[in-house]
Structure 1
Amino acid sequence: MADFLLYMSLFIIWFMLFYHMFLMQGGYLHHRRHRELKAAWEKDPGELPSFSILIPAHNEDMVIADTLKAMAALQYPKDRLEVIVVNDNSSDATGEIVEGFAARYSFIHAVHTRPPEGGKGKSGALNQGLKRASGDVIAVYDADNTPEPDAVWYLALGLNKDPDAGAVVGKFRVQNGGRNLLTRLINMETLTFQWLAQAGRWFWFRMATIPGTNFAIRREILDELGGWDEKALSEDTELSFRVYNLGWHIRFFPAAVTWEQEPETLNVWWKQRMRWARGNEYVIGKYLLGLHRLKHRKITLDLFYFLFTYLLFFTGILLSHAIFVTNLFVDLDLTIGMVSYVLLVTGFLLFLVEVLLALSLERGQLTLKNAGTAVLMYFTYSQLWLALVVHATFLEAKRMLTKQEVTWYKTQRFQTSGRETVKKEKRAKSS
């Protein structure tokens, strides 16, 4: 029995490792070709559409001013731009700060919500903002984001030049990546995700996942879909599947860059990632049960990718770990012997190559310090994800059985120092 479980777990793990290697190759090729495409599109951008930027904000007085300064600095025709900040049942000074910017800039507007319409979470706030938006294109930024001045222009360019794209997603960078070990690990995680999962899937399959920020979607699509699913903790992933099901594709266009703040403490990271994991498992359950009703079968590829990542892949790793540890104390009479150790070491080396390749695609990221951190990442951060997904699966199963309502966790923000802001600006100029 132990042999069978070990072989099964190794098959699942190596299936995903080979798939990730395939995606990473696509991400590298997309990086090489992207600059030529970007330069060609810039020569004839076409008529820019009217843009409505939605910023959901609940108790964001620590970061919202920097975000609105970035909005004011956007290089986009202001007569075709509106920024709608949804001050969603805040109890701090968020509303006053937003009103101050609205008084100074005619294209910035404040929407204040209170229960029963307000306080339902990000999806609810976005739906309230959508009701007041007038643009042909809807863009979303989180309240801790500072997009580069040309970010929205590039999102518009992507939609103009790709009429089959229902949405265009940009790239996000970690604003506080050098604050401590955790933020350095998150920085490497986000870069690997974007160049592996986003760029790789786009290159091979013309697919990408809408993130929670720095994306633009055609207004007609949101109207047809009825806005965001307010039951979804991962409203971005859920929206992606519905866009696919209408027959559109989602383009990854890394020229549009925003900078965002990431958790600086393990407790905040755990709560944020728990929401992500539970939200993605909700999406898996929702669409797996309704698989026969999906109009466009191409999205099953993404559905099974999430299924393998959040359930089967982590189950395989958990099984292999359990068998490895048990065999140290009890002889399980495994026939695979030393081959299993060779496979484990090779798997670790492949993980390391993927991370380092992703870092090499961003200027200044492939350093000796980051290489050492990548080694540490495998034995600490990645294993922490394993524990988190196990816990998230238990909580989501419990919620479904007891029919509990989901509770939105708003990520805690941290004060941004002027020193980090200067560093971020210097990095942006150098790249």
Structure 2
Amino acid sequence: MACLATVMVLNFGFIFFRRRLRDCRKANVEQRAKACPRAPITAVVPCYLPNEQYIIEETIEWIMERVESPGDLTLMIVYNTPKDLPEIEKRLQVLEQKNDWPYGRTLKVHRVMESKSKAANLNEALRLVSDEYVIIYDADHHPDRQSLMLLWEKMVRLDQDCVQGSYYMRNLRQNQFGCSPACTFPCLSRIIDAEFFLDWFFSKLITRTFFMGKGYFSGSNALWRSSVLGGKTFSEDAQTEDVDMAIQQLLDGRRIEFCPESRSGELAPMNMAALWKQRLRWTIGWDETSLKHSGAFTDSGRLSLRARFGLVWTFLVR
């Protein structure tokens, strides 16, 4: 009982601390964000439709109706599917034709016929983007209302090529204590949420401050200059195309900053088997991509000694 009580106290203490920290950091930044110049932005959501057909409509409505933007917002859904899915594809077409979205926003839905990967979907989207700025979200992401404004404010203020926001688990109540669905691990989503918080608000900031001197792209909830991101292609062979893109951009000396207070909620794996598969793919992809580019970590003439050391630490040692 004593152990259980201790865990409960630590859990509630963590939640309290996280909320207070978030509120303090966001208070003044939100005001500055609204004072920044306006700019049109395209939000890109890659989607593997067979797996994400049950959540993509909710994500569309969430982004179109709730997320604040510094200017006109176009949401582009780029999806692939090995076979036709008439019902969901028809519903997506209906949403695309809708002309009464808030603030005059536009939805574009594009099927990438030859695609077999998220990377191919993203590459196709970047060919279609015409706005100066682009932000990437995963299909399960529900960004906080002010998240895009916070990214935009930091990009303008610090003149960055990319600003990377953070993630948290938004399905905490679906996977905790005795209310867990069958075959799930109790509190799994809360454990992952705590891990993500420590990673974004401590580990990544330490890496940025003491090792690399800059942040790096983490795949989703990241605002880019379209010309910079479109100048490279996502690797269709990589297990983790985001890590591959991050290394490519860092080797080119791009300016990337973290903005952990810009938060986006994603769905946590609902059981240990799903978590194991996810983390195994991340591990294989991280090692595969890091080793692929490792020779360039010390050869690139564009990088300072600190930046080279940061690359070695972040992608090889850590």
**Superposition TM-score, scaled by structure 2 size:** 0.78
Aligned with 1:55 (options 33, 37, 45): 45
Name the amino acid aligned to 1:84: M
Partner Cα distance (2:38, 2:55) in 1: 29
- Cα offset for 1:110? 0.5
- Match for residue 44 of structure 1? 35
* Cα 1:48/1:232, change in 2 over 3 Å: farther
More helix by share: 1
Paired positions, count: 274
- Cα offset for 1:197? 2.3
- Match for residue 101 of structure 1? 95
Partner Cα distance (2:293, 2:246) in 1: 12
- Match for residue 87 of structure 1? 79
Partner Cα distance (2:34, 2:54) in 1: 39
User: Is the CA contact 2:70–2:152 (under 8 Å) kept in the aligned structure 1?
Assistant: no
| 2:207 is aligned with 1:216 | no
Partner Cα distance (1:258, 1:31) in 2: 13
Name the amino acid aligned to 1:58: Y
- Match for residue 111 of structure 1? 110
| 2:197 is aligned with 1:206 | no
User: Is the CA contact 1:234–1:279 (under 8 Å) kept in the aligned structure 2?
Assistant: yes
Partner Cα distance (1:272, 1:227) in 2: 23
| 2:144 is aligned with 1:151 | no
- Match for residue 322 of structure 1? none
User: Is the CA contact 1:167–1:249 (under 8 Å) kept in the aligned structure 2?
Assistant: yes
The secondary structure found in structure 1 opposite 2:134 is strand
User: Is the CA contact 2:251–2:297 (under 8 Å) kept in the aligned structure 1?
Assistant: no
1:335-357 Cα offsets, whole Å, 9 max, x none, are xxxxxxxxxxxxxxxxxxxxxxx
Aligned with 2:69 (options 68, 73, 76): 76
**Structure 2: gaps of 5 or more residues:** 1-20, 100-104, 177-185
- Cα offset for 1:305? 2.6
User: Is the CA contact 1:49–1:156 (under 8 Å) kept in the aligned structure 2?
Assistant: no
- Match for residue 135 of structure 2? 139
1:393-415 Cα offsets, whole Å, 9 max, x none, are xxxxxxxxxxxxxxxxxxxxxxx
* Cα 1:272/1:48, change in 2 over 3 Å: same
- Cα offset for 1:67? 0.6
Q: Map residues 17-416 of structure 1 onto 2, 5 A cutoff.
A: 34-35=25-26, 38=29, 41-42=32-33, 44-45=35-36, 47-59=37-49, 60-73=52-65, 74-76=67-69, 80-89=72-81, 91=83, 92=85, 93-105=87-99, 107-115=106-114, 118-119=115-116, 121-163=117-159, 165-178=160-173, 179-180=175-176, 181=186, 182-204=188-210, 205-224=212-231, 226-294=232-300, 295-297=302-304, 298-309=307-318
- Please identify the structure whose Cα radius of gyration is greater: 1
Partner Cα distance (1:262, 1:243) in 2: 28
- Match for residue 335 of structure 1? none
**Superposition TM-score, scaled by structure 1 size:** 0.59
* Cα 1:97/1:245, change in 2 over 3 Å: same
* Cα 1:110/1:41, change in 2 over 3 Å: same
Partner Cα distance (2:123, 2:267) in 1: 24
Q: Identity of paired residues, percent?
A: 18
Name the amino acid aligned to 2:276: W
